[in-house]
Structure 1
Amino acid sequence: MKPWIDRALLGLHTIGAATLIALVGVIAYDVLGRLLFNRPFPGTFEITSAGLVLLTFLQTPHAMREGKLLRVTFFIDRVPPLLRQILEVLAWSIGGAIFLVFVVAGWEPAIEGWKSAEFFGNEAFRLPASPLRFSALVLWLAGAAVCIGFAVEALRGRVDSPSTSTH
């Protein structure tokens, strides 16, 4: 893939790491507030549930690009190269299709959430839903793009798919 794409995916990964640090801070603040002052932070559930969704999909495209996804290769390492290529194309195509299904399924709820000013939470703490929903759409598109890119590379017979490269 192009170097600027790799940098963009690394940027998303870095934002995911910062999100993790922020979530740890929120949880620690909630626990300390609960233990020391009997006053937990009212938005912990909403922030952590939204943050975990973002964290997952912020880091997924970079993990795919770097070949850091969990893969069991005992089978694919033993098949002939042509079958391996076909399986790589098929696997990355299915991955891309799944991300695109997420986008299609998430589009209408994102639009409706924006129109209705939907929020997560209760009276004590409200978190607007539309930024999370639209961010997820963008991140799912990024995941689909990485999968489709690898499917095309595998179809061309190039060996820079993460299962066969040494990044």
Structure 2
Amino acid sequence: MKQWIDRALLGLHVAGACLLIALTLLIFYDVAGRLFFNRPFAGTAEVAGVGLVLLTYLQTPYVIRHRKLLRVTFFIDRVPAALRSQLNALAYLFGGVFFIGMAIVSWEPAIVGWASGEFYGNDAFRVPAWPLRFGTLILWIISGLVCIGFVAEGLRGRLTEKDDALPE
């Protein structure tokens, strides 16, 4: 099961990388169109704004799973291994509560955005809001579950390494 989860999270990470490539090409097209043909792409700002938010949360669960988030470890590296595992579990509990909390408070705006036909942009180019709202909601839940998995590992005493190696 762990291998399947790791592959699914890698798939989200790769999807985020593909989205980054698409956004880069879109911005290049916009700049080239503006420079050479005086015809920029009308929706670049809207698509880039939505894409950057989605890109961030597509890659978040993978980064959490591989413990590659920015961490300040000057204190935690100096405590005994058993306490280190418990403190890591506490930190991941805070992360899990944050992501699940974000999902809970985002549920109603996602439903309202879907029902009302909310969009980003102006009349020249519109991006529907509901795919971004529901997409980030699902990705927050996934990120929260990854954090909760680490809470369980920490309570079992498996988050004692000083480096960021994954527990086995």
Q: TM-score, normalised by structure 2?
A: 0.94
RMSD: 1.8
Decide which moves more: 70-79 or 142-151.
70-79
**SS, match of residue 158 in structure 2:** coil
| Deviation of the 1:30 alpha carbon | 0.7
Q: Quote the sequence identity (%).
A: 59
Question: Structure 2 vs 1, CA of residues 86 and 160 (structure 1 numbering), >3 Å: closer, same or farther?
Answer: closer
Where do 1:1-167 residues align within 5 Å? 2-159=2-159, 164-165=164-165
C-alpha distance in 2 between matches for 1:145 and 1:162: 23
TM-score (norm 1): 0.94
Instruction: Provide the rounded CA distance (Å) in 2 between the counterparts of 1:166 and 1:96.
Output: 18
Distance 1:61 1:45 in 2: 26
For 1:132 and 1:166, the matched residues in 2 are separated by 31
In structure 1, what residue type is equivalent to 2:18? Answer: A
- Cα contact 1:118–1:129 (8 A) shared by 2: yes
For residues 84-120 of structure 1, the C-alpha deviation after alignment (integer angstroms, 9 at most, x for no partner) is 1221111000000000111011101100000011111
Q: Whole-Å Cα distance in 2 between the matches of residues 79 and 160 of structure 1?
A: 10
Structure 1 outlier segments of 4+, above 6 Å: none
Q: Structure 1 CA distance, aligned partners of 2:129 and 2:162? A: 34
8 Å contact from structure 2 (residues 120, 128) kept in 1: yes
Contact 1:33 1:40 in 2 (8 A): yes
* Aligned positions, number: 167
